[in-house]
Amino acid sequence: MTVGPVSELATDAPNARLIGGHSVLLSYRNSSWWAIANICPHRGEVLSDGLVQGDCVTCPGHFWRFSLTDGVKQGDERVRVATYPVRVVDDVIEVEVPDPEPAQSLREILLAHARAEDTHD
């Protein structure tokens, strides 16, 4: 999806954008643009509200640190935020995000919960 002209994005600070229904943190590092999910997988804090140092952003919630380039949590490679391919076409940034998941109805949520309860015998 098209984000906009490169000139509208900061190269010295993270850029928070809503792209195709996804909250995305765009940053310029090592002469390239990178995009990661902007929501912490721990408890959902907004990563762009955190502190950026080097190639990492520190979550403002509980200070987990994530790479701005590959989304990996520092010190625990099993934890990561999603990353999205970025390309620049004629000075316009494009980020490839998956289609957002359709919202579940209350009925679907309750049925899924009830089915999960059935498996706890």
- Which residues sit at the interface with ligand FES, rule CB under 6 A? 40, 42-43, 45, 59, 61-62, 64
Minimum CB distance to ligand FES smaller for 33 or for 64 = 64
The least CB distance from residue 108 to ligand FES, in Å, is 27
Minimum CB distance to ligand FES smaller for 42 or for 87 = 42
**Residue closest to ligand FES, measured at CB:** 61
The least CB distance from residue 64 to ligand FES, in Å, is 4
The least CB distance from residue 81 to ligand FES, in Å, is 10
Q: Rounded to whole angstroms, how far apart are CA atoms 26 and 34? A: 6
Task: Give the closest residue to 73 by CA, choosing from 30, 42, 96, 98.
Answer: 42
The least CB distance from residue 45 to ligand FES, in Å, is 4
Q: Which DSSP string corresponds to 39-106?
A: B-TTT--BGGGSEEETTEEE-TTT--EEETTT-EETTEEEEE--EE-EEEETTEEEE--PPPPPPPPH
